[in-house]
Amino acid sequence: MSYVLKSVILQGSCGNLSYELADIFIKNGVVENIDSSKIELSDISSDHFFVTPGFVNSHLHPNQLLDRRMLDEKSITDLLSAMHIVQQKTDEDRYHQAIFVLIDALKSGATSIYAIASKPEPVIRAFNDIGITGAISCFFNDVWEGEGNTPAQISLQEVERNFAEFFKANNKDVKIHIGSASILTASNELLKLFNDIAVRYNTKVNIHMSEGIDSVERCRQHRGTTPIRLLDQLGILNERWNLIHATTVDAEEIKIIARSGASVIHCPVSNAKTGVGIAPMLDFYKKGVNIAIGTDACSNNNTNNILNEAYFATLLHSAIHRDALVFNEEIIFEWLIPNGLKIIDSNRNGKIEVGERADLLIWSLKDPCFVPLHYGKFRSAFINNAPDAKPHTVILGGRKVIENYTFTGDLEKRATDAIDRWTKKGLYQEAPVSY
């Protein structure tokens, strides 16, 4: 299949006021050619469409939708315990949740997703049915050193057997990673096994890390040190590790992470909502840590909107550092695109270039967030007008999956109907008020 995106606007290479008028030729899911020439801002009209690469949502739980609004106003300890209640969900229910959540994330411009799942098969199926790229971390737990309800556990022997089965779905567009809910759910032996498997399968480890003082103190009680120091002492922290949150780390731990080459995934909305604190992103940034950004579960966000996350991160760090320029637009876009692609282990560069997969966002310059049009700086709207900015059209591997802000095909409707049926049955088991 081939077609041309005619007379669209691309960001130019000479700053945020430079633009190009382009015809983008797409063939077999890939950008085949680009014909472009410079266009003056005064010649851009609201009838034009602005085209950008897709973003990466670097942390998403596709299977937490049925908890949305049921886990509001809970401490992180109560929230985790409530999440561990085994709801009466079938794999079909999990699939419908994943379809809904992935499409929701896609509507905010995330064309690549880093998902976690303790039941990966329905999530893998949902990725493939939508045609979205990214990575899925298969989560295994073998201990529980937290409070309240115990998460599902598995023996060390079963971990590799199950992972080998899930890994059969690994390909260049959907990578299969391994991990655990946190240090509280993974013994030292399991943590070492993750690293061993990551090396042997040439994949990555993904884990919630130092998410609030409670989890750090529990690690100290049970393992005699903090989570980051534990990984360091086990000799396993390296560039294969993608650490989610890292809100509660000290200066020495920041240095350990930086030295190891591990990446950090920042989820500021979730961290604020669950009251675990603010990750020291400026310190990570200054030490050269690879940083990406994710929305976490929509039960503790409550959106799957990656631009909302970038917006909140910008405001939050400007406020706490009393510096409006602490992370400028360029840095936030690094978190949103190339750093995220590195985290999911993609071989793509996230640019609109000949030979690259056509994962593109098409923005209508008629949208109110782009007024006044002739100021340019369109990319500012994605961050500073995030609540109002949605792509008009989303192209995944050359296929238009969202047109006129609406998902094409019937997957979204079928998923929504299935979710409504499940919730109407009154199956949801609410957590006790406090543990």
Complex with Zn ion: residue 142 or 296, whichever CB lies closer: 296
3-state secondary structure (DSSP) of residue 393: strand
Which residues on neighbouring strands pair with residue 241, listed in sequence order?
205
Q: Select from 129-137, 289-297, 302-310, 332-340 the region that touches Zn ion (CB under 5 A).
A: 289-297
In the complex, the smallest distance separating the C-beta of residue 58 from Zn ion, rounded to whole angstroms, is 11
8-state DSSP, 175: E
Complex with Zn ion: residue 245 or 390, whichever CB lies closer: 245
Which tokens go with 32?
A: 């085949």
Kindly state whether residue 296 participates in binding Zn ion, applying the rule CB under 5 A: yes
Q: What share of the chain is helix, strand, coil (3-state, %, to 5)?
A: 40, 20, 40
In the complex, the smallest distance separating the C-beta of residue 160 from Zn ion, rounded to whole angstroms, is 24
Q: Select from 21-29, 123-131, 291-299, 370-378 the region that touches Zn ion (CB under 5 A).
A: 291-299
Interaction residues for Zn ion, span 20-79 (CB under 5 A): none
If residue 382 lies in a helix (H) or strand (E), which one and from where to where? helix 378-384
Which tokens go with 366?
A: 């008629």
Complex with Zn ion: residue 25 or 241, whichever CB lies closer: 241
Note whether 64 and 267 are within 8 A (CB).
no
In the complex, the smallest distance separating the C-beta of residue 244 from Zn ion, rounded to whole angstroms, is 6
If residue 231 lies in a helix (H) or strand (E), which one and from where to where? helix 227-233
In the complex, the smallest distance separating the C-beta of residue 312 from Zn ion, rounded to whole angstroms, is 16
3-state secondary structure (DSSP) of residue 264: strand
In the complex, the smallest distance separating the C-beta of residue 391 from Zn ion, rounded to whole angstroms, is 25
Note whether 368 and 359 are within 8 A (CB).
no
DSSP letter string over 37-101?
EEE-GGG--TTSEEEEEPEEEEEE-TT-GGGTTTSTT--HHHHHHHHTS-----HHHHHHHHHHH
Complex with Zn ion: residue 296 or 359, whichever CB lies closer: 296
Complex with Zn ion: residue 95 or 139, whichever CB lies closer: 139
Residue of closest CB approach to Zn ion: 296
Alpha-carbon distance values, 184 to 11, 188, 271, 395 (Å): 45, 10, 18, 40
Kindly state whether residue 309 participates in binding Zn ion, applying the rule CB under 5 A: no
Q: Select from 35-43, 125-133, 293-301, 371-379 the region that touches Zn ion (CB under 5 A).
A: 293-301
Kindly state whether residue 93 participates in binding Zn ion, applying the rule CB under 5 A: no
Q: Select from 48-56, 94-102, 217-225, 288-296 the region that touches Zn ion (CB under 5 A).
A: 288-296
> In whole angstroms, what is the distance from residue 353 CA to residue 221 CA?
52
In the complex, the smallest distance separating the C-beta of residue 245 from Zn ion, rounded to whole angstroms, is 8
Interaction residues for Zn ion, span 238-267 (CB under 5 A): none
In the complex, the smallest distance separating the C-beta of residue 150 from Zn ion, rounded to whole angstroms, is 18
Complex with Zn ion: residue 52 or 185, whichever CB lies closer: 185
In the complex, the smallest distance separating the C-beta of residue 87 from Zn ion, rounded to whole angstroms, is 17
Note whether 247 and 211 are within 8 A (CB).
yes
Complex with Zn ion: residue 173 or 296, whichever CB lies closer: 296
Buried b or exposed e, range 387-408, using 16+ CB within 10 angstroms: eebbbbbbbbbbbebbeeeebe
- With CB under 5 A as the rule, give the number of residues binding Zn ion: 1
Q: Select from 31-39, 294-302, 311-319, 380-388 the region that touches Zn ion (CB under 5 A).
A: 294-302
Residues 6+ apart with CB under 8 A from 224: none
In the complex, the smallest distance separating the C-beta of residue 393 from Zn ion, rounded to whole angstroms, is 30
Q: Select from 296-304, 312-320, 338-346, 427-435 the region that touches Zn ion (CB under 5 A).
A: 296-304
Return residues touching Zn ion (CB under 5 A): 296
